[in-house]
Structure 1
């Protein structure tokens, strides 16, 4: 029974992804997704309440699940790299997904998922903050890094998609390891 359930979810997801490559998200109906998966419309609702929940499932299953597994075995950098690799694998779909805006935007769904990853890292390793700035809360740090990573992903895929995942990962790690002041050449040592 679990195998059949997983197969049906997979077929619904694949149908959705194929439709996203052909139609704007707003034009895709539950009936279209069900038809593409070879199931009746009511079957869709046995798995997802709407296409936004299916989009969330896509992010969790196809992008984040591998990253979470790597976190579990203390491979944090590899987890971040895995996100880039998984996004590159489905580049055409992800580009279309970034067109989904509004309350349930793809950007928001991806930010939330990446935020969960950063929360897991912080819970596992704690924070090493040598400042007593009240703004440096766990929530604000997670938001800052989540939004930063999603912005880097969006810029990469929408404007520089010829750059491979490995190079983009290296670029991201370099930028995260250096402040903007470190990158400037303004002749003053801080």
Structure 2
């Protein structure tokens, strides 16, 4: 992404980034990702195409920003106070609620994009990276010699597997049931 998200954005930059993200989300409800063009995003945003390119390399970059913006809504800034196993649970629950709250967007995405298409792959890859950061905090002082990175990859893949199963494959389950599935797959004890 051209815009540096590590620095505090100005009000104008925040407004512009949010406008492009909201426009992308509105378009995703009505059409496939592959059929959305940068021209259409700029036109619907009522911003110049050149402004789009000041912030993003292409529409794929904007999709990643949309995932980033969604991930900011689950506020894991306070993660230091959680033990790693608790953090996995908190992250799963918050991500479940985030996806649940964005039902219209997810319905549109599912309706117009294939489950193994670019958009959902982008979503999975982004959130796997976020979960991997959290899961990598697990120390390897376990009774096994499994490398900690492999453990982190296992946790992040399982979390995303359960969430994708719940939200992208029309398996209507509540949070408690989804958590029970996760718990059984990961053998997490509260």
How far residue 159 of structure 1 moved from its aligned partner, in angstroms, is: 3.5
**Structure 1 residues 18-27 or 140-149, which shifts more?**
140-149
Structure-2 residue corresponding to 1:8: 16
Structure-1 residue corresponding to 2:52: 44
Question: What is the alpha-carbon distance in structure 1 between the residues aligned to residue 72 and residue 121 of structure 2?
Answer: 14
Question: What is the alpha-carbon distance in structure 2 between the residues aligned to residue 139 and residue 112 of structure 1?
Answer: 17
How far residue 160 of structure 1 moved from its aligned partner, in angstroms, is: 4.1
Structure-2 residue corresponding to 1:188: none
Structure-1 residue corresponding to 2:102: 90
Deviations 1:19-53 (A, max 9, x none): 01111110000111111211011111111111111
**Structure 1 residues 86-95 or 2-11, which shifts more?**
86-95
**Residues 13 and 58, structure 1, Cα contact 8 Å, conserved in 2:** yes
**Residues 70 and 79, structure 1, Cα contact 8 Å, conserved in 2:** no
- For these two proteins, the number of residue pairs brought into alignment is 173
- 1:131 maps to 2:108: no
Deviations 1:123-143 (A, max 9, x none): 3x41333123xxx22332222
- 1:99 maps to 2:109: no
**Residues 67 and 83, structure 1, Cα contact 8 Å, conserved in 2:** no
1:79 to 73, 85, 91: 91
Note the residue ranges of structure 1 that are not aligned, 5 or more in a row.
Answer: 179-190
Note the residue ranges of structure 2 that are not aligned, 5 or more in a row.
Answer: 1-8
Question: What is the alpha-carbon distance in structure 2 between the residues aligned to residue 2 and residue 26 of structure 1?
Answer: 31
**Residues 23 and 44, structure 2, Cα contact 8 Å, conserved in 1:** yes
- 1:110 maps to 2:133: no
The change in CA–CA distance for 1:28 and 1:84 in structure 2 (over 3 A counts) is same
TM-score (ref. length: structure 1): 0.76
User: RMSD between aligned alpha carbons?
Assistant: 2.7
Question: What is the alpha-carbon distance in structure 1 between the residues aligned to residue 52 and residue 29 of structure 2?
Answer: 20
1:66 to 69, 74, 81: 74
Structure number with the bigger relative contact order (C-alpha 8 A, sep ≥ 6) is: 2
Deviations 1:46-68 (A, max 9, x none): 11111111111111221355253
Structure-2 residue corresponding to 1:25: 33
Structure-2 residue corresponding to 1:147: 157
